[in-house]
Homo-oligomer: A and B are copies of this chain.
Amino acid sequence: MTEDRPDASGTREQILAVAKDLFEAQGYANTRISTIVEGTGATKGALFHYFKSKEDLFQTIWERLQGEMDAEARANAVAARSLKDPYAAFLAGCRTYLQWAARRDYQQIVLIDGPSVLGLAGWYEADNDLGRQNVSAGIRYLARKGIIDGRRTAALSVLVHNALNGAGFAMARGEAGVTVESVLDAFEAVLKSLR
């Protein structure tokens, strides 16, 4: 997350775009560097000029995706905070996150290959200040409003965050009975009952 998104037409940006498509479609391990550079017209030299390894390239894409999701979730959460009902604000944030978790690119890159490539520590470290923090902030917000027990925020944040992640997977697979609406419905029922 150093300097991002320079001129979107440069070689570096092309590499990132092609690599992201391939990582999403075939997964990290099945994507060859030669295939990436073929898709850009450049050569391996260019790729290794901008990224010190395949892993570094992956991480850059990973961070960018997380950043985009984070920005959208934050924006929606702030917008919804003006609503009177605290639930509505929190649910708005969760809906945003859920929609991201249902995206193919987010699933394959962030949720599937992320932990494996970056390692448990790295994944958590980076994920901690993004998706997780959004959920955590929402939970603590509900606690401040006196809606849920303040002593349970840590555990609840973890439970809720991962529940949403997993729901994204299930939705994308078209698993029977699992849609954005049904998940949000169940999710809302659970939250509301916490009162």
CB-contact partner of A166 in B117, B152, B159, B182, under 8 A: B159
A39, CB-defined interface residue at 8 Å: no
Residues of B within 8 A of A182 (CB): 152, 154-155
A160, CB-defined interface residue at 8 Å: yes
A37, CB-defined interface residue at 8 Å: no
Q: Which residue of chain B is the closest to A193 with respect to CB atoms?
A: B193
Residues of B within 8 A of A119 (CB): 27
Q: Is the interface of A mostly helix, strand, loop or mixed?
A: helix
A178, CB-defined interface residue at 8 Å: yes
Residues of B within 8 A of A160 (CB): 163
- 10 interchain pairs (CB within 8 A)? A115-B116, A124-B175, A154-B177, A154-B182, A155-B167, A155-B186, A156-B186, A158-B167, A158-B170, A162-B164
Q: How far is the CB of A187 from chain B (nearest CB, A)?
A: 7
